[in-house]
Structure 1
Amino acid sequence: MSVHAGTGIFGTYLFLDIDGSPITYGLSETGGASTPDFQGVDLGDFNPISMSLTLDGAQANTFKNGSGDVTGADLFYTVYPTGGPQGSFTQVSLSFAANSPYTDAGGVSIGGGGDQKWETTNANIDLLASLAPGDYNLEVYIRASTNEGDRYHNAGGANYIGSFSISSIPELSSFVGMGLVSAVFGGMSLRRRQRRARSA
């Protein structure tokens, strides 16, 4: 993007929810932001029966000068096995949220003329749904649509990538089998006690 461009993105954040706790990660955050970096983060190991990993949305901070105009912003994400094919991206629209002055998701005061905030915080996308046990990447980037063409925050084309894993879950048949064994041995023990009581 030219240094003389009339439009662009200057700060982006990702909103996740891990086990009910919302966390804001910086993608390419504004200077002075207090958020942890998403790039290269290990989000943890998840048991999908009792744990959750939810994508709530993102924030893009944009600027416009002169005749430039920003008309929208979007988050794109994909989840795929680590080391496997990347997979297709899903688009999440970011709604217009504010003209400057405002405070961005990193706690930075934004006051430049033409600066705008675009965000979605309630996408509520279950990132663990239908995934088998294993290691996964969550890959994201941000796009702003302008009258001068699209602008991107995408780590120079490599995108922003975090990782997580899903634990193996014992099959239901294992629990059923254990229950049957318990019931059989429990019944045998009860019958022995009853026979001893009758013979006493």
Structure 2
Amino acid sequence: MSEEFEVRGPHEEALEHAGHHHGHGHHQEGGHAPADPFAGRIAVMTAILATVGAVFSYQGGSTEGLALFYKNEAAIRKTEAANQWSYYQAKGEKQNLAELGAALTAADPKSSAKFTADVAKYTQQKTEIRAQAETLEKVVVQADAASERQLHLHHRWAQATTLTQIAISLAAITLLTRRRWLLGAALGAAGLGAIVGLAAFAGY
């Protein structure tokens, strides 16, 4: 099953913690706490990442549902094709009996003509049944291919979602530790997630 993307996560807790910390320091000094541009930028970044991650997660769930739908469609049509081939075999057996009857009654034109007509009837029915069975088999192949494609895209969306979650976690750690090099790592993970998401959107 597809994973749900949690919009509220460690980044929000970190922002609340940072805001509480600065607010606490201000109350001790008796004035208004100065705005923290760094924390503000991280807040905007994580909000954008959370939105993008939610979109990636939704797309992942959608493609997973389509993959299951096409796989189920393939299973149904495969059963129908098998039934048609069984029907085809039954008609073949009746045709063989009619041919045998025609051969045994060759001396009786009236009876032989009846068996010959049955042979022609079963031959025609077999042709129609065979065409239906082959059409169903083509549908099975197409549905299986569609299922595999949607499953591949589901994996792409899942990868993009995971990378976005990693980026949000790194942003939260950046805010708590104030280590700016972690911000670069967060942006890198976010960028890679965006690339994978664009690849999924393009169908790769």
TM-based fold match above 0.5:
no
Output the TM-score relative to the length of structure 2.
0.26
Structure with greater strand share of residues: 1
Structure with greater helix share of residues: 2
Q: Which structure's CA Rg is the greater one?
A: 2
Which of structures 1 and 2 has the larger relative contact order (alpha carbons within 8 angstroms, sep 6+)?
Answer: 2
